[in-house]
Structure 1
Amino acid sequence: MKKNIVILGATGTVGSKISEILLKEGHQVTLIVRDLNKVEKLKHLGAETIAGDITDVDTLTNAFKNADSAFILLPDNVKAENTRAYQRQVTGILIKAIESSGIKHIVNMSSLGSHMHEGNGIMGGTGEQEVRLNQLNDVNVLHIRSAYFMENFLRTIGLVKKMGINGTVADGDHAIPMVATRDVAEIAAKHLATLDFDGKNVHAVMGPRDYTYREFTSIIGKAIGKDELPYVQLPVEQVKQTFLGNGFSEDFVDNLLEMGTAIKSGFMNYQKRDDSTTTSTTVEDFVNEVYLPFYNKE
């Protein structure tokens, strides 16, 4: 049976893939986006689009009213002077829209590490959002706790090309779960379409296995013909100044960097791995099918 499904974040790496999957399955998909020009491909596939912002409670409420399910998330705001206050504001708006609309099934984009509420940077807000959504009455909520996105390595292509290194502020030798966003999208889309969850639940999505940043970098190096491509743990202050120079607020940057530097603490390895949390796309698959095309295009 085809469903009426609302998607927030349809221009993002996960939301866009969820939308495409559901549209190709024949569901009625409504996208709430700020820039309608960015979802032209999805409109051609049959999506209904509404120009709106995640802070517009009336737009969200009206969209949720006739929906069987909705995909929600906590988007970054790189200009926020107080990141946690911004996150709490968005969570409050989402909850008000859910309660006012009467929608019964919510798939919430969360993250591994959201069992903690301090010391994990940005994820402190996703953890708090989980708790607040769990307090909703008569609403079924599924939290997708995703591993570190493999797509994050696309952001350092410029560094690889210009400096001949790959690097972030994270420790290079601490293995964590890493996942391709297409695997996350497939799982989220299935839950949105089948409504196969009751009450409050967590579905962790952890990729095929744990990888270190150095191992990931080595796989990239082999693929691009630079077998000795090194991974370098970048100085926090240097990276911070780069972000600030790009117009990010200091509080957002501090939260972002805390998330990266805290990886070695093990907060990303809390979730137990089993068949339900393990997905198929390996780093080798990702590098060959996604990273290389981006690398060659840049």
Structure 2
Amino acid sequence: MRIGVAPASTRTCAAAIRSLLEQSSNSSSSIEVRAWYRDIAKAPSEFLSHANFEAVKGDVSDASSFDFEGCDVIITVPPPFFKHENMVELSENLSRNIKTAIEKSTTVKRLVMMSSMGAHLYDGVGEIKTKTAAERILVETRIPRITVIRPAYFMENWAAQYPTLKAPEPSVFSYLTPSDWKLEMVSIKDVGKLAAKEATADAPQSTPVYICEIQGPQKEGYSSLEVRDVLTKILGKEVNLQLIEKSKLPDFFGAFLPSGCVNEFVEMASSFLQGGALNVNPDPQANVVHGDTSLESALEEAIREQEKISGNSA
């Protein structure tokens, strides 16, 4: 079985590739991975050293740069557009390119798309609307089997605050308010495992389009206080929790995003909170599954990765 991954550079696609290559090494089944990168130099050495991995040059903004012939399955995820004001239009265009390339192939019979929780909504979810737009296009792809995976909030996102976590007085910022309000979270590793599982599954699918939401093992989610406590345990130092109230979200996002993107991210963050769109309007059509990676385990690994990056750039 040959599985194509396009684009391959996102964190979730990297996790899916890692899981697929582990399956290939640990089982008798033949799994080959062909991964498309805009810059092949970005392909991780751990993948390039595997006999069943092939890196291919391809730009998702150019449909002609993708040739999926020979692939049985395609795994894709709309890349994030944190600094593009026309993010929804971009997501639509890139999704059409993937759809076109799949339909030109005579071999692709299955699509696994990684999306986001809340992608069933058209309003009230801000930046998540890019995933809504992508889903709307990709679920119309003319192939027999489509799986849409909607992850919860990534546990590893907290490690992006590595500079403040490693400061003399460690701190973590959170717009998850009040401090005991809980949000479903999941490890990127578990999302990758699920994508790999769906890509290689033999069991028949009950519907042509199967939608599942993946959350972490703690079904009620995690609060800002719990995140702070886990980080304190990992770092061995007290971490100060700095809450960003809803009224301060425009200033928070405005400090590092283009002005035309701020409202989309304010709306997305607000959708996570009590009374927000994600809590008021869950998707009754989605099947909920749970990963097994704990918040502590996910953050320990993510912080180790940040330490490597910091060490390499020093």
Specify if TM > 0.5. yes
Per the shorter chain, which TM-score range? 0.7 to 0.9
**Structure 2 match to 1:233:** 244
Secondary structure of residue in 2 paired with 1:221? helix
**Structure 2 match to 1:54:** 60
Cα distance in structure 1, aligned partners of 2:185 and 2:283: 13
Q: Is 1:105 the equivalent of 2:110? A: yes
Q: For residue 59 of structure 1, what is the amino acid of its counterpart?
A: S
Which one of the candidate residues 269, 272, 282 is aligned to 1:263? 272
Cα displacement (A) at 1:255: 2.0
Show CA shifts across 1:206-234 (max 9, x none).
Answer: 11121112211221112212335324226
**Structure 1 match to 2:28:** none
Q: 1:232 to 1:294 in 2, by over 3 A?
A: farther
Asked if the contact 1:217–1:231 (Cα under 8 Å) also holds between the matched residues in 2, the reply is: no
Tell me the number of residue pairs that the alignment of Structure 1 and Structure 2 aligns: 288
Cα distance in structure 2, aligned partners of 1:30 and 1:181: 20
Cα displacement (A) at 1:110: 0.7
Q: Is 1:154 the equivalent of 2:159? A: yes
Q: Is 1:13 the equivalent of 2:24? A: no
Q: For residue 205 of structure 1, what is the amino acid of its counterpart?
A: I
Cα distance in structure 2, aligned partners of 1:107 and 1:12: 15
With normalisation by structure 1, the TM-score equals: 0.87
Secondary structure of residue in 2 paired with 1:77? coil
Asked if the contact 2:228–2:239 (Cα under 8 Å) also holds between the matched residues in 1, the reply is: no
Cα distance in structure 1, aligned partners of 2:202 and 2:276: 32
Secondary structure of residue in 2 paired with 1:166? strand
Which one of the candidate residues 248, 254, 259 is aligned to 2:263? 254
**Structure 2 match to 1:96:** 100
Q: Map 1:176-255 onto structure 2 (within 5 A).
A: 176-194=183-201, 196=203, 197=205, 199-209=208-218, 210-227=221-238, 229-233=240-244, 235-244=248-257, 249-255=258-264
Show CA shifts across 1:267-293 (max 9, x none).
Answer: 445258x996112111122233x1442
**Structure 2 match to 1:25:** 23
Cα distance in structure 1, aligned partners of 2:287 and 2:253: 38
Q: For residue 89 of structure 1, what is the amino acid of its counterpart?
A: N
**Structure 2 match to 1:287:** 299
CA RMSD of aligned residues (A): 2.4
Secondary structure of residue in 1 paired with 2:197? helix
Asked if the contact 2:10–2:79 (Cα under 8 Å) also holds between the matched residues in 1, the reply is: no
Which one of the candidate residues 160, 163, 167 is aligned to 2:173? 167
Which one of the candidate residues 71, 94, 97 is aligned to 1:67? 71
Asked if the contact 2:34–2:55 (Cα under 8 Å) also holds between the matched residues in 1, the reply is: yes
Asked if the contact 1:207–1:281 (Cα under 8 Å) also holds between the matched residues in 2, the reply is: yes
Cα displacement (A) at 1:17: 1.9
Cα distance in structure 2, aligned partners of 1:101 and 1:169: 44
**Higher relative helix content:** 1
Q: For residue 186 of structure 2, what is the amino acid of its counterpart?
A: V
Cα distance in structure 2, aligned partners of 1:236 and 1:6: 39
> Gapped runs of 5+ residues in structure 1?
none
Q: For residue 50 of structure 1, what is the amino acid of its counterpart?
A: V
Cα distance in structure 2, aligned partners of 1:77 and 1:156: 19
Q: 1:195 to 1:250 in 2, by over 3 A?
A: farther
Asked if the contact 1:176–1:268 (Cα under 8 Å) also holds between the matched residues in 2, the reply is: no
Asked if the contact 1:243–1:253 (Cα under 8 Å) also holds between the matched residues in 2, the reply is: no
**Structure 2 match to 1:36:** 40
Q: Is 1:145 the equivalent of 2:150? A: yes
With normalisation by structure 2, the TM-score equals: 0.83
> Gapped runs of 5+ residues in structure 2?
25-30
Asked if the contact 1:111–1:146 (Cα under 8 Å) also holds between the matched residues in 2, the reply is: yes
Asked if the contact 1:168–1:232 (Cα under 8 Å) also holds between the matched residues in 2, the reply is: yes
Cα distance in structure 2, aligned partners of 1:114 and 1:49: 30
Secondary structure of residue in 2 paired with 1:116? coil
Q: For residue 188 of structure 1, what is the amino acid of its counterpart?
A: A
